[in-house]
A and B are shown apart, each in its own frame.
Chain A
């Protein structure tokens, strides 16, 4: 025996050291399927099958990828300024970022909601929440631009947002942080440790105009003070309801990590929004004074306007029966996801060792039979066993979010055990599990939150990247991973980097978007007050200390491109109209010393750069977007004279006659 053991140990040592070295050299285990490359390869010039519309996390933006290739197509500026396009810097889009706190140039964008008709994707709009200064934005999928931003009053940390009802009637906005609210709805000066007495929560229902998509503050529900985390609207039979996950029912105001993890169960809150809507229509709500911004972008004037609005209709949830119920849910639930049939609500307790699945039918029965275990600040708490369809046992550690396929299966992300687990909704049986690299947060099945999942893939949005890519110093790329779900087993196909920290994302068949995507703005329809529709309209006008330049751009010159008569103390507004009428011919505009950004002007569009000269001299301006073989010739000069100068305003293009001495 002794003689045989020694060589075995020696072999084992050799093997360990061999694999050890090999791991070090190669980095982490790939984990990908053998035929992965062929499944994600999209030939040059060919289109991807799906658009993946991904939240930009702390970048405040939304990014667009192709699936299965994982190629990044576009970053849409939403809540954060973007010097590359001039968003938030040019005069036209500055109002988009106005709030009751003034101009807020950044936010933290978490959750995507694509517009729905009959519970399925219709490809019209993308909604995205701003978490920090509570806002919801609507992106028009014809232009891939932010069309509208509405601020949410009576909210702090708009995390539980913007989940959408099945015919895009409303997107919801639940406050993550409760905070003190008195009868006037103001945020009074009270000690922080009076949380239990003074702090309240709200959820807002943001109405969506069925044709134009325009958002309005429909109504708000006043609720007990704790944290509202995530939400999903019901579907089909449960379509009149929205479900919200709630944590910190302990009502702690400090060290929530410990103090909000005391109770065995928190809540999933069920809200009957149809009933709320009926009450509001019947005048049962109370008008409250608030202050919030509503910013809209007009595609014809190519300009945004910001309005400050001042009232909201509030329903106090405990004063009306049948509006709100709490379902006990283990251990600080995060995800709260409704399956495609609308029958099952999956709660994901971040600290739970099981996944509870609630039954909508059972919930209705329990409500009818008043099977309550008590109430929380006047709101009925249903009995856990009475509303439970069942529990998925030992699924993994740290369940966060669940998406669905079209075959009755659910896919749940597990942050702590870093995996996706596939399980059957009816039978509550675990079918498959696959590791993610590393620590998955949200996940996305194309059409996963709708009544008609498109299936095929599940995409993981990971919280930790570590060694998956070439290192780039302490800060690494964010990352997503694509898995096939065609067969019984999930298979890793691709890693792809993402911007910001991706939170929720949706994927939609490309054909639902492509057919509506516009190629340019018609110059005939341009109603910008400073549009120069043709070089004949190009001019420079002085209005006191303001100088307005009506300028045109076309391959490859500006008109005018020589401007004189600007004086120190003037503020110059360059209103540039791009006269091109073809796809993919933007022109840029930059001028030396501008303290803001460049302009990037799409065909048929007008955009305005404000420029305050800070010194006397001749300043170059040029086109920044390579537009033709003579792009480098697309330039001009602006002369700035001393304040006391008598040089008159003049402008020209192509004159080129030398001055006489």
Chain B
């Protein structure tokens, strides 16, 4: 399984991505042991988390979740179409989450973690047309769901 992912990631023959792929491959391993440091692919390279959680952002995040995410993601650990969200903020870097929420198309073809999830779920996560602010609000909503303070 891991070998397949590795080959798949490098298989497009783009030498520039080889390093990233190796790293990502290692990260897939690491993901399971919750030591991920992969930030995914996209515009978010450094997301500052603040405490305490921002209530307005949580509320805005819930509205987006209800319309655009809740069809496929439970708030528990239960997998529906996509994985349940419980614990996602400790499994993934905030940057990875926001990048995946706004740049799923690219990550599903290049990011090893995202590609591994696709093999599990078999449905490509759709681009739900989230703005940068939407993605940040969703992240806050996830942190709240995970009991972060």
A residues at B contact (CB < 8 Å)? 520, 522-524, 533-536, 552, 554-557, 559, 579-582, 585, 628-630, 654
For A654, give its contact among B70, B80, B124 (CB under 8 Å): B80
On chain A, the residues within 8 Å of B68 by CB distance are: 523, 534, 579, 581
Bound CA span A559–B67, Å: 13
CB <8 Å contact, B71 and A554:
yes
For A630, give its contact among B80, B122, B126, B128 (CB under 8 Å): B122
On chain B, the residues within 8 Å of A524 by CB distance are: 67
List which B92-149 residues lie within 8 A (CB) of chain A. Answer: 122-124, 126-129
Bound CA span A554–B71, Å: 7
For B81, give its contact among A533, A555, A582 (CB under 8 Å): A555
CB <8 Å contact, B126 and A534:
no
Bound CA span A243–B40, Å: 64
Q: A536-B66, A629-B122, A654-B80 are in contact. Are A581 and B71 (CB under 8 A)?
A: no
Q: Whole-angstrom distance from the CB of B103 to the nearest CB of chain A?
A: 12
On chain B, the residues within 8 Å of A557 by CB distance are: 71, 81
Q: A555-B81, A630-B122 are in contact. Are A582 and B127 (CB under 8 A)?
A: yes
CB <8 Å contact, A535 and B70:
yes
CB <8 Å contact, A581 and B66:
no
Q: Whole-angstrom distance from the CB of A337 to the nearest CB of chain B?
A: 45
Minimal Cβ-Cβ distance residue in B for A537: B66
* Given A534-B71, A582-B126, 14 other A-B residues pairs in contact with their CB atoms under 8 A: A524-B67, A533-B66, A535-B66, A535-B71, A536-B70, A554-B72, A556-B81, A557-B71, A579-B71, A581-B126, A581-B129, A582-B127, A585-B126, A654-B80
Minimal Cβ-Cβ distance residue in A for B129: A581
On chain A, the residues within 8 Å of B81 by CB distance are: 554-557
On chain B, the residues within 8 Å of A552 by CB distance are: 71
On chain A, the residues within 8 Å of B128 by CB distance are: 580-582
Q: Whole-angstrom distance from the CB of A495 to the nearest CB of chain B?
A: 39
Bound CA span A630–B82, Å: 13
Q: Whole-angstrom distance from the CB of A584 to the nearest CB of chain B?
A: 11
16 A-B Cβ contacts within 8 A? A520-B129, A534-B68, A534-B70, A535-B70, A536-B66, A554-B71, A554-B81, A554-B126, A556-B123, A557-B71, A559-B71, A579-B67, A581-B127, A582-B127, A582-B129, A654-B80
Minimal Cβ-Cβ distance residue in B for A554: B71
Minimal Cβ-Cβ distance residue in A for B72: A554
CB <8 Å contact, A580 and B126:
yes
On chain B, the residues within 8 Å of A582 by CB distance are: 126-129
Q: Whole-angstrom distance from the CB of B1 to the nearest CB of chain A?
A: 18
Contact count band on B: 10 to 19
The 4 A-B residue pairs with the shortest CB-CB distance, nearest first, are A581-B129, A534-B66, A582-B127, A534-B67
On chain B, the residues within 8 Å of A581 by CB distance are: 68, 126-129
For B123, give its contact among A520, A555, A579, A654 (CB under 8 Å): A555
On chain A, the residues within 8 Å of B127 by CB distance are: 581-582
On chain B, the residues within 8 Å of A536 by CB distance are: 66, 70
Minimal Cβ-Cβ distance residue in B for A520: B129
Bound CA span A552–B72, Å: 12
How many A-B pairs have beta carbons closer than 8 Å: the answer is 54
CB <8 Å contact, B126 and A555:
yes
Q: For the complex, would chain B's binding face be called helix, strand, loop or mixed by DSSP majority? A: loop
Bound CA span A585–B129, Å: 13
Bound CA span A606–B70, Å: 18
Q: A524-B67, A536-B66 are in contact. Are A629 and B129 (CB under 8 A)?
A: no
On chain A, the residues within 8 Å of B72 by CB distance are: 554-555
List which B56-99 residues lie within 8 A (CB) of chain A. Answer: 66-68, 70-72, 80-81
On chain A, the residues within 8 Å of B126 by CB distance are: 554-555, 580-582, 585
Bound CA span A533–B69, Å: 11
Q: A554-B72, A581-B127, A654-B80 are in contact. Are A523 and B67 (CB under 8 A)?
A: yes
On chain B, the residues within 8 Å of A554 by CB distance are: 71-72, 81, 126
Minimal Cβ-Cβ distance residue in B for A555: B123
On chain B, the residues within 8 Å of A534 by CB distance are: 66-68, 70-71
Bound CA span A535–B72, Å: 10
Minimal Cβ-Cβ distance residue in B for A535: B71
Minimal Cβ-Cβ distance residue in B for A579: B71
Minimal Cβ-Cβ distance residue in B for A628: B123
Minimal Cβ-Cβ distance residue in A for B124: A628
On chain B, the residues within 8 Å of A535 by CB distance are: 66, 70-71
Minimal Cβ-Cβ distance residue in B for A577: B67
Bound CA span A523–B128, Å: 10
Minimal Cβ-Cβ distance residue in A for B69: A534
On chain A, the residues within 8 Å of B123 by CB distance are: 555-556, 628-630
Minimal Cβ-Cβ distance residue in A for B118: A629
Q: Whole-angstrom distance from the CB of A71 to the nearest CB of chain B?
A: 26
Bound CA span A580–B125, Å: 10
On chain A, the residues within 8 Å of B80 by CB distance are: 654
Q: Whole-angstrom distance from the CB of B135 to the nearest CB of chain A?
A: 13
On chain B, the residues within 8 Å of A556 by CB distance are: 81, 123
On chain A, the residues within 8 Å of B70 by CB distance are: 534-536
Q: Whole-angstrom distance from the CB of A639 to the nearest CB of chain B?
A: 23
Bound CA span A556–B72, Å: 9
Bound CA span A580–B68, Å: 8
Bound CA span A554–B127, Å: 12
Bound CA span A536–B70, Å: 8
Bound CA span A582–B104, Å: 11
Output the residue of B80, B122, B127 with the most chain A CB within 10 A: B127
Bound CA span A501–B79, Å: 53
Q: Whole-angstrom distance from the CB of A173 to the nearest CB of chain B?
A: 40
Bound CA span A236–B119, Å: 63
Bound CA span A629–B81, Å: 12
Bound CA span A119–B106, Å: 43
Minimal Cβ-Cβ distance residue in B for A604: B129
Output the residue of B67, B80, B123 with the most chain A CB within 10 A: B67
Output the residue of B80, B126, B128 with the most chain A CB within 10 A: B126
Q: Whole-angstrom distance from the CB of A552 to the nearest CB of chain B?
A: 6
Q: Whole-angstrom distance from the CB of A350 to the nearest CB of chain B?
A: 54
Bound CA span A534–B70, Å: 7
Bound CA span A574–B47, Å: 43
Bound CA span A630–B68, Å: 19
Q: Whole-angstrom distance from the CB of A606 to the nearest CB of chain B?
A: 13
Minimal Cβ-Cβ distance residue in A for B105: A582
On chain B, the residues within 8 Å of A520 by CB distance are: 129
Output the residue of A556, A579, A585 with the most chain B CB within 10 A: A579
Q: Whole-angstrom distance from the CB of A531 to the nearest CB of chain B?
A: 10
Bound CA span A629–B125, Å: 12
On chain B, the residues within 8 Å of A579 by CB distance are: 67-68, 71
On chain B, the residues within 8 Å of A523 by CB distance are: 67-68
